[in-house]
Amino acid sequence: MNNLTDTPVPDPGSGGDKKESKQSSALKKTSRYRSRSLSASSTDSFSSASYTGSSSDDGDDVPPREKVQKNSKGNADFCVRNINQQGFGRREIEIAEQEMPGIMALRKRAADDKPLKDAKIVGCTHINAQTAVLIETLVELGASVRWAACNIYSTQNEVAAALAELDIPIFAWRGETEEDFWWCIDRCVNAENWQPNMILDDGGDATHLMLKKYPTMFKLVKGIVEESVTGVHRLYQLSKAGKLTVPAMNVNDSVTKTKFDNLYSCKESILDSLKRSTDVMFGGKQVVVCGYGDVGKGCAQALKGQGCIVYITEIDPICALQASMDGFRVVKLNEVIRNVDIVVTATGNKNVVVREHMDKMKSGCIVCNMGHSNTEIDVNSLRTPDLTWEKVRSQVDHIIWPEGKYIILLAEGRLVNLSCSSIPSFAVSITSATQALALIELFNAPPGRYKSDVYLLPKKMDEYVASLHLPTFDAHLTELTDEQAKYMGLNKAGPFKPNYYRY
Amino acid sequence: MNNLTDTPVPDPGSGGDKKESKQSSALKKTSRYRSRSLSASSTDSFSSASYTGSSSDDGDDVPPREKVQKNSKGNADFCVRNINQQGFGRREIEIAEQEMPGIMALRKRAADDKPLKDAKIVGCTHINAQTAVLIETLVELGASVRWAACNIYSTQNEVAAALAELDIPIFAWRGETEEDFWWCIDRCVNAENWQPNMILDDGGDATHLMLKKYPTMFKLVKGIVEESVTGVHRLYQLSKAGKLTVPAMNVNDSVTKTKFDNLYSCKESILDSLKRSTDVMFGGKQVVVCGYGDVGKGCAQALKGQGCIVYITEIDPICALQASMDGFRVVKLNEVIRNVDIVVTATGNKNVVVREHMDKMKSGCIVCNMGHSNTEIDVNSLRTPDLTWEKVRSQVDHIIWPEGKYIILLAEGRLVNLSCSSIPSFAVSITSATQALALIELFNAPPGRYKSDVYLLPKKMDEYVASLHLPTFDAHLTELTDEQAKYMGLNKAGPFKPNYYRY
Amino acid sequence: MNNLTDTPVPDPGSGGDKKESKQSSALKKTSRYRSRSLSASSTDSFSSASYTGSSSDDGDDVPPREKVQKNSKGNADFCVRNINQQGFGRREIEIAEQEMPGIMALRKRAADDKPLKDAKIVGCTHINAQTAVLIETLVELGASVRWAACNIYSTQNEVAAALAELDIPIFAWRGETEEDFWWCIDRCVNAENWQPNMILDDGGDATHLMLKKYPTMFKLVKGIVEESVTGVHRLYQLSKAGKLTVPAMNVNDSVTKTKFDNLYSCKESILDSLKRSTDVMFGGKQVVVCGYGDVGKGCAQALKGQGCIVYITEIDPICALQASMDGFRVVKLNEVIRNVDIVVTATGNKNVVVREHMDKMKSGCIVCNMGHSNTEIDVNSLRTPDLTWEKVRSQVDHIIWPEGKYIILLAEGRLVNLSCSSIPSFAVSITSATQALALIELFNAPPGRYKSDVYLLPKKMDEYVASLHLPTFDAHLTELTDEQAKYMGLNKAGPFKPNYYRY
Amino acid sequence: MNNLTDTPVPDPGSGGDKKESKQSSALKKTSRYRSRSLSASSTDSFSSASYTGSSSDDGDDVPPREKVQKNSKGNADFCVRNINQQGFGRREIEIAEQEMPGIMALRKRAADDKPLKDAKIVGCTHINAQTAVLIETLVELGASVRWAACNIYSTQNEVAAALAELDIPIFAWRGETEEDFWWCIDRCVNAENWQPNMILDDGGDATHLMLKKYPTMFKLVKGIVEESVTGVHRLYQLSKAGKLTVPAMNVNDSVTKTKFDNLYSCKESILDSLKRSTDVMFGGKQVVVCGYGDVGKGCAQALKGQGCIVYITEIDPICALQASMDGFRVVKLNEVIRNVDIVVTATGNKNVVVREHMDKMKSGCIVCNMGHSNTEIDVNSLRTPDLTWEKVRSQVDHIIWPEGKYIILLAEGRLVNLSCSSIPSFAVSITSATQALALIELFNAPPGRYKSDVYLLPKKMDEYVASLHLPTFDAHLTELTDEQAKYMGLNKAGPFKPNYYRY
């Protein structure tokens, strides 16, 4: 819920703020783009890449835009760090495919129908192995695509190369400048013989650019699918302002996204993030989790399961009551801050952990952020002359107080699950399938079904996405008998629940 | 989701179906009234009463309506089994008060304001210690009340006596005839110097009777609060038919009801129900839970926690995916029916377990129903000449096949948590506080806020109900700073979530 | 670890302490015999009997010893409360058989061999449905038996009647006087044409009586199997004093007993005990469990699983470290006593909860004992004039302080799992099978294998007992290959672990 | 339980098997030394080092023995890879100290007493940050030490450098040849002015070498502390053969080792190992864990806690019954091998998973070993021409069948927790404190207390080690009152349990 006032979107046409020093600009960009990384497909490729020994350091400092590269077929309609990395990228994509059964099933089922035939999609998302699976699926389903990154740091260069090798026009590399960033998007929107009719956006930048710079082209778009909190927020603003001239699908609030991506992903990644970065033992550790929404619930459950003693802070009495009934003490942060071994933020709010709290923490306390922005921990308050920062590992800083006490800050307060762990491909698979279905729905909807407004995915599609993932678990659905369907007043094929059902 | 066709509501003015034989009538009534017992305040007093040794058998066969009874103050405006049982009933009420902190806190906070001053409430609910706490709270808050039972079997006679002793006009006893049933409600609706202006209903019978028999009186009512699935269904039918002339509050779908009452109550009561009735050991038992809604989730979690191996059946792919991710095998009933030790239904549907399944069960298999009606297990299919029924304990039957195999049927397929366990007073406290707040809201709402329609409780009140229960857990809420509230776009006092939030 | 100084064993030959007033004698007896109830087969039949409505009150005050009773075959060699109750007792035995797969499997497998042919067993144990299954198994295996109760209160009269109906000489009823108690045992030891050669004891009373009163007979005994802590302690005393002239088997410390009976039984029964007696909701309750041995571990795990916040007190740093690693705060009782909702003792020690603690508890705090004796809670300190006791249900007392605060004491501080819940038959099955195997082993051992000492059951028999119970769970053992057995240095048939293995 | 026949210990004096080809020798050595890595202090430094980017590759191929190196004080009595890496090593040691509260507390408490004054210790263990903390503690307590590695692959070079910088004579580097290996140990045993009087061994090699090559020196040793299964086995063999002329302490079977190191460490590291190597999502995965000893229990519990469906295979009916009661299906491997997603071995046996099983696995199945040797998975059976090995990440191989199916083999079947995760320093701290206490006990024991035999650590010391670790958890022990101690027959200071207590 990063509001737009806080992170003003620069007009891509202007360039006013490009003059500042390089470093401060980089810092700003970090915080700016990171703030969008709540989106499900956001996965920082750091960890897996670092494992393989392969990395973005290709010993080649030529900026990609200045390079001349062709893929093995002679095609040059792309811009990536190094086309030669494609072999490794292809392997990473193949591994991801194994854990993305839903999107692969969709690819298989719909391959003959080509439901996206004639769709021309501008994509702007994180670019990593999992999104590559999505992109290649869209192509299999008949679409033409052009793709850019929604984040200057998150591109997995090898994967981008692998996509380019398949003649997919991709414009993205890790470590773009802000100018590069907008250039890449522009290259996806505006190309020869290319009138896009769909946008798949993660953060709203492709939508923004096309609307501002190519308003005529924008009017011919049939639909927008938006993934992130920020992007959805921007769409609602546009809609309120009367400027949204095409239907848009908010997939951020679909049940498969909120329940699966938030709850289950975080349940898996909190343990992984803490272990990989600090090797901490969980048994008996005292942890405070700030916030008991879906993310906080997932974290608290996983940590308790591994033997931690977990405290919760909450502002909402209903969530607080849930925490209580689930067996967690609900406290104010100050009540436990001197005793806890680990602090996890999961509120979506700002300044939840401030300097005053950190002054009270015991030495060795680990502090990390699982919420959605980089604002939850007031990291700036730690950048004072009396404190010493020592980087002990990648993504791990010791902040040392004059008297010798130190705290362990992960990922400099940014999202620790993106920086210090991998995101389960399976969760991404659910979101990707949702995005693909949303594209199909908007692209094929009869005229009039959707107006120029922001829509939630029809529940039936949510159910379809779920059903695509059941074979992975060898799960067998029961079918209603006619008599039962009648008794319940349901259609045998669903949807099975009222819209307000909470799951 | 018991539809009305299945359980026709007799016109209280007619008496057509009173002619059938006594036994068949009793059977019908059982199934009829039981079908409403999903409501949160539904608690069969069987178990606690059976513990105390005191019971409904007071060695007195005179029908209550033919008795002349007065309380110690000489007041005779009530009709209960035996006013002399009031001492024991008072003690049960006092015990219940201890576990109902929310409603007690509301009583305390609002006692001076008397927000129900001049309210004249007709109540028709189960009558037990917990509802007594609600009733006495309403009186404390300024209301006048007249109260009847919504179920001919569920009244705790001692509690009814204790209420009568306090001059509360109460008309209810365990084992009413159908005629008694309507007579009691009538006595609450229609009395001297009594124009009711509010209805608190659980199943819709008081509403129904007043609307049919006293339409003029009904028009003067300011609001109806309805608790049960069935009653809510009837209200929506009335509304659709244009016959609802007053605003009604559906408290059945408030978050505090669905999440707390269904999930947590069932999590507590499934273990208790099975243990009390069968003394079964849980460790290593194979259990199939049919349905993974809130009730199924609670059951599955509790049983797994005690060492059972739990299988799930589901019709809805989203719930099935949740079950899978939570670590349960999702199967069709036939795949596991030969191997399981316990079958629990929690679907809200009918004929989920049928004779064909029961023919395949292994000897000693326990079968019970945690859903909402008595239709989930096709018990009638077991009433065939080849099978022998043997009652081994109260609420426990062995159904014996010719070859010697038997299954253990609990509560004859009715709700096992109502029949074989107690309902935690705490969960009831949440629902009671919700009911009381709904009455206050409707009674005090400025003209025009509510039209003649069915409403959900405002989220802010849901949050207030939750906050009333936090002190029990010594839970301490965090307050938003001004800066944080602004950042989130929230009012510091709530509501804290959008209406579609799933918790 | 009840030491003998505290509970002096009266010489059955003398009668010195029979002169005291009847009431004080009754009190003493209670505490005395209760102190033995740690033994695995100890199950107070209260709960199940109370369910059936049938009870020991048969409206017949004639002392059993003065009655003339015959079973349907005309046999009169028994003394029970009422032979006519046998039908109900038989049904309870049949129910128990369903949940005792191990002992039933043993009965079946060994029925042809008759390994106890010519064994003449004096039994002295609790008498309930589960022990009846053991007794009838011994008879099936070829033994002759005569049986008395080891506790004056715990006999299930209907079961005793059912055994008598089968011509098993049984001498036991609920509510024996102390004189009755010794008379019954004497009738089992000393009968016409009866030279017993085996003793199955639970508390050591049969052994004691035979040794003291019939020393010649005692010398002809081939072996003793003892079940209880107390009895084992007495055997070791005898052995040390050089008075043990026969081999004895200590089945109390076999792994199947300590790990299964203590850990798993308590895990099941703590929830049941608290629920049945108080209907308490577990979610969010703060509980302190005193002691983290097997019983404490089982309680803590079960309570945490149901959503309680559990604190542990410990004296042993190793157990304390286990508790910490398992995610429990280890505290001194005084640190949490003002805040907890439930106090559970599981130490085996005395005065763990004393008046000073109870003075500090908050109103409504539940106090109960899961340890082995009735000494853990200093109940006597509550019997002072300033406190009021109010019995609110069977086994539930409110102790009320002058200022109105009260605590809820369960089972007057005696073992709450025996008083307020049922014991899973399955756990009893394990212990019963162990007892039967110990009898078989001692009875058939070649001369010289066992000397006049106290032995633990050979590990191989422990493993055999376990294997008898696996079919219940449809569990399939893997068999070592020859190569694997050789690699591990194991016999393919076991034993599989060194003696010091901790499981 | 690697027996000596399988892994013959080469006579260091001979050199007979040095002639074989380099590769086969390397392979042999791997399997040989790996087989010792069960010991608690065994931690492969791979993971943490790989995080820092620093690695053993120092761009320097000069064999350490041929280098001339001095530390900053001019001291040259050591042999490590590169003394200049000491700075990074020191930081790793400091991080380890934070998580090793027990050994640090011991260091602090005993620093003044210098209980190891005049002790001259030959150490031969894995060399990593955690053992560095132990070594430096021994020095603080007064000992002189000389130290070698017990494994040619496990040395953390930077840590060895940091020790050398502190003038600790250390002879170890990652990637020693077998000749290097024995040379290093020799340099620790045999040095100028050095008559060792204590041995701290992990695998028995230092003991072996001294006994064979310097028998006179060996006779002057006061005691041996041995950590590993293999080493303990060798000591018992020596003892049986009458060749053990000094007392030895078996710390491998102390309760703090078996219960904490095996159960808790594995509970933490199984999740970490699988996540880091494969990024697998746990929710809903079907896993078979072979073996339900302490390691298997830890794995099964952790995996279930994260939402896996876990099956167990067992040969021991007692452990199988525990698994059943804990809610796991006990199966034969063949029953589930076609369906599971993950196979984990934890048996300590050989050929538990063989080619026949792997032929049946489904594509993508992950196979890993948590047991103690590299024999559990028959990896050799996969080295056939029809199968293709593809290394996809470090420690991760895809083995591809002709038809395209592949399985994912971790760490080539060696211990996955050593190869793919970090070992919690806290668990190592417990073992290290145990080793230090064993050294102190043996070194200071009055003559006669210990004979030339193998001893278990006195229970009181086990309890002391535990108590050293309680402050980490802010755990507060309760003290027995005099009355309670008397009642229990215990000394107030412990030991608190009989030797056979199972915890």
Is pLDDT at A12 greater than 80 in this prediction? no
Q: What pLDDT does residue C279 have?
A: 87
* Residue D335: C-alpha distances to residues A471, B459, D288, D339, D341 (Å): 20, 52, 10, 9, 14
Q: What pLDDT does residue D60 have?
A: 66
Q: Tell me which residue of A133, D369, A305 sits closest to C326, measured CA to CA.
A: A305
* Residue A199: C-alpha distances to residues A145, A207, A447, A480 (Å): 10, 7, 18, 38
Chain B, 349-388: which have a CB under 8 Å from a chain A CB?
A: 349-352, 375
Q: Could you tell me the CATH number of the domain that includes residue D124?
A: 3.40.50.1480
Q: Which two tokens stand for residue C93?
A: 């035995």
Is pLDDT at C36 greater than 70 in this prediction? no
Q: What pLDDT does residue A427 have?
A: 83
Contacts of A469 in chain B (CB under 8 A): 321
For the residues of C2-54, what is the DSSP string, one character each?
--TTTSPPPPSS--GGG-S-HHHHHHHHHHHHHTTTTSTT---THHHHHHHS-
The structure tokens 């927008």 sit at A224
**CA geometry: angle B352, B356, B361, nearest 5 deg:** 90
Is B282 close to C275, i.e. CB distance below 8 A?
A: no
AA letter at B192: E
Q: What pLDDT does residue C440 have?
A: 96
Is pLDDT at A300 greater than 50 in this prediction? yes
Reduced to 3 states (helix: H, G, I; strand: E, B; else coil), residue D259 is helix
**Which amino acids of A are annotated as binding site for NAD(+), given as ranges?**
293-298, 314, 417
Q: Which two tokens stand for residue C175?
A: 């509510």
Does B308 lie in the same domain as B192? no
In this structure, is residue B31 part of a structural domain? no
* All chains having 3 or more CB pairs closer than 8 angstroms to chain B: A, C, D
In this structure, is residue A473 part of a structural domain? no
Does C365 lie in the same domain as C314? yes
Q: How many angstroms from the chain centroid is the CA of residue D466?
A: 19
Specify the pTM. Answer: 0.87
pLDDT in tens, C300-346: 999 999 999 999 999 999 999 999 999 999 999 999 999 999 999 99
In this structure, is residue B184 part of a structural domain? yes
Chain D, 270-289: which have a CB under 8 Å from a chain A CB?
A: 271-272, 275-276, 279-284, 286
Nearest-angstrom CA–CA distance, C66 and C57: 17
pLDDT in tens, C365-393: 999 999 977 899 999 999 999 999 999 88
In this structure, is residue D497 part of a structural domain? no
Is pLDDT at A23 greater than 60 in this prediction? no
Instruction: Using pLDDT thresholds of 50, 70 and 90, give the confidence band for residue A17.
Output: very low
Q: Which two tokens stand for residue D22?
A: 């380099």
Q: At what angle do helices A205-213 and A178-189 cross, to 10 degrees?
A: 70
Q: What pLDDT does residue A50 have?
A: 30
Does B291 lie in the same domain as B198? no
Q: Are C346 and C371 in contact (CB under 8 A)?
A: yes
Bigger pLDDT: C427 or B125?
B125
Nearest-angstrom CA–CA distance, A270 and A278: 12
**Which amino acids of C are annotated as binding site, given as ranges?**
293-298, 314, 417
Instruction: Burial-class residue B394 by CB neighbours within 10 Å (0-12, 13-18, 19+).
Output: middle
pLDDT in tens, B45-90: 223 333 333 334 455 679 999 999 999 999 999 999 999 999 999 9
Query: Out of A469-483, B391-405, C43-57, which region has the weakest mean confidence (pLDDT)?
Result: C43-57
Does D336 lie in the same domain as D242? no
My answer on whether omega of the bond before C495 falls inside 30° of 0, hence cis, is yes
Tell me how close the Cα of B287 comes to any Cα of chain C, in angstroms: 12
Q: What pLDDT does residue C352 have?
A: 97
Neighbouring residues of C216: CB distance < 8 A, sequence distance ≥ 6: none
Q: A59 at the C interface (CB within 8 A)?
A: no
Does B430 lie in the same domain as B404? no
Q: C471 at the B interface (CB within 8 A)?
A: no
Q: C391 at the D interface (CB within 8 A)?
A: no
Q: Are C100 and C426 in contact (CB under 8 A)?
A: yes
Nearest-angstrom CA–CA distance, A378 and B203: 53
Q: What pLDDT does residue C426 have?
A: 85
Is B394 close to C98, i.e. CB distance below 8 A?
A: no
Q: Are B435 and B457 in contact (CB under 8 A)?
A: no
Q: What pLDDT does residue A170 have?
A: 98
Tell me how close the Cα of D488 comes to any Cα of chain A, in angstroms: 29
DSSP lists the bridge partners of residue A329 as A311
Does A280 lie in the same domain as A400? yes
Mean pLDDT on A445-457: 93
Q: Which of A413, A447, A479 is the last residue of a domain?
A: A413
Maximum separation of any 2 CA atoms in chain C, in Å: 74
pLDDT in tens, B182-229: 999 999 999 999 999 999 999 999 999 999 999 999 999 999 999 988
Q: What pLDDT does residue B59 have?
A: 53
Alpha helix positions (H), D227-330 = 229-240, 255, 265-278, 294-305, 317-325
Q: What pLDDT does residue D153 have?
A: 83
Reduced to 3 states (helix: H, G, I; strand: E, B; else coil), residue C499 is coil
Average pLDDT, chain C: 87
Instruction: Using pLDDT thresholds of 50, 70 and 90, give the confidence band for residue C59.
Output: low
In this structure, is residue C34 part of a structural domain? no
Is pLDDT at C5 greater than 70 in this prediction? no
Neighbouring residues of A356: CB distance < 8 A, sequence distance ≥ 6: none
The H or E element spanning position B410 is strand B406-410
* All chains having 3 or more CB pairs closer than 8 angstroms to chain C: A, B, D
pLDDT in tens, A120-156: 999 999 999 999 999 999 999 999 999 999 999 889 9
Is D463 close to C496, i.e. CB distance below 8 A?
A: no
Which of the residues A282, A325, A326, A330 would you substitute to probe the C interface, choosing the one with the greatest number of C C-beta atoms within 10 Å? A325
Q: What pLDDT does residue B253 have?
A: 87
Alpha helix positions (H), B144-293 = 157-165, 178-189, 205-213, 215-219, 229-240, 255, 265-278
Q: Are C373 and C348 in contact (CB under 8 A)?
A: yes
Q: Are C344 and C289 in contact (CB under 8 A)?
A: yes
Does A217 lie in the same domain as A307? no
Q: What pLDDT does residue C428 have?
A: 87
pLDDT along chain D (503 residues), means of 10: 32 34 34 27 30 43 92 97 95 88 92 95 96 97 97 92 98 96 98 97 96 96 93 92 95 87 90 92 96 96 97 98 97 98 96 98 96 90 97 92 96 89 83 95 95 93 95 96 94 90 89
Neighbouring residues of D126: CB distance < 8 A, sequence distance ≥ 6: D37, D39, D41, D42, D43, D149, D150, D151, D154, D155, D202
3-state helix, strand, coil in chain D (%, to 5): 45, 15, 40
pLDDT in tens, A219-254: 999 999 999 888 998 999 999 999 999 999 999 988
Q: What pLDDT does residue B44 have?
A: 29
Q: What number of other Cβ atoms are within 10 A of residue A236's Cβ?
A: 15
The range of the structural domain enclosing residue B428 comes to 63-252+422-458
Contacts of A308 in chain C (CB under 8 A): 327
Q: Which two tokens stand for residue C232?
A: 């084992």
Q: Tell me which residue of D144, D164, D166 sits closest to D156, measured CA to CA.
A: D164
Is pLDDT at C238 greater than 50 in this prediction? yes
Instruction: Using pLDDT thresholds of 50, 70 and 90, give the confidence band for residue C409.
Output: very high
In this structure, is residue A15 part of a structural domain? no
Nearest-angstrom CA–CA distance, B355 and D352: 44
Neighbouring residues of D181: CB distance < 8 A, sequence distance ≥ 6: D149, D152, D205
Neighbouring residues of C379: CB distance < 8 A, sequence distance ≥ 6: C409, C412, C413
Nearest CB to D322; choose among C335, C351, C503: C503
- As for how many domains chain C has, the answer is 2
Q: How many angstroms from the chain centroid is the CA of residue D453?
A: 23
Chain C, 307-346: which have a CB under 8 Å from a chain A CB?
A: 307-309, 324-329
Average pLDDT, chain A: 87
Q: What pLDDT does residue A220 have?
A: 95
pLDDT in tens, C179-205: 999 999 999 999 999 999 999 999 999
Tell me how close the Cα of D275 comes to any Cα of chain C, in angstroms: 22
Q: What number of other Cβ atoms are within 10 A of residue D433's Cβ?
A: 27
Q: How many angstroms from the chain centroid is the CA of residue D137?
A: 19
Phi and psi at residue B139, to the nearest 5°? -65, -40
pLDDT in tens, C468-485: 999 999 999 999 999 999
Instruction: Count Cα neighbours of A501 within 13 Å in the Cβ-side half-sphere.
Output: 18
The structure tokens 């007896």 sit at C29
Q: Could you tell me the CATH number of the domain that includes residue B273?
A: 3.40.50.720
Q: Tell me which residue of A12, A20, A81, A16 sits closest to A45, measured CA to CA.
A: A81
Does C426 lie in the same domain as C284? no
Does D223 lie in the same domain as D143? yes
pLDDT in tens, B254-278: 888 888 888 898 999 999 999 999 8
Reduced to 3 states (helix: H, G, I; strand: E, B; else coil), residue C115 is coil
Nearest CB to B325; choose among D307, D324, D325: D307
Q: How many angstroms from the chain centroid is the CA of residue D431?
A: 10
Nearest-angstrom CA–CA distance, A188 and A122: 6
pLDDT in tens, B170-180: 999 999 999 99
Radius of gyration of chain B (CA): 23
Q: What pLDDT does residue D59 have?
A: 53
Tell me how close the Cα of D331 comes to any Cα of chain B, in angstroms: 13
Q: Which residues of C275-297 are buried (b: 16+ CB within 10 A; e: fewer)?
A: bbbbbbbbbbbbbbbbbbbbbbb
In this structure, is residue B451 part of a structural domain? yes
Does C354 lie in the same domain as C448? no
In this structure, is residue B227 part of a structural domain? yes
Q: What pLDDT does residue D408 have?
A: 97
Q: B477 at the D interface (CB within 8 A)?
A: no
User: Chains A, B: CB contacts under 8 A, how many?
Assistant: 180
Q: Is the ipTM of this complex over 0.95?
A: no
**Both ends of chain B: CA-CA distance in Å?**
23
**CA geometry: angle D370, D376, D382, nearest 5 deg:** 115
Nearest CB to D279; choose among A50, A307, A422: A422
Mean pLDDT on B424-440: 91
Reduced to 3 states (helix: H, G, I; strand: E, B; else coil), residue D299 is helix
Is pLDDT at B286 greater than 80 in this prediction? yes
Q: Are B424 and C279 in contact (CB under 8 A)?
A: yes
Residue of B nearest to C98 (CA): B364
Asked if residue D219 belongs to a known ligand binding site, the reply is: no
Does A213 lie in the same domain as A104? yes
Does B241 lie in the same domain as B111? yes
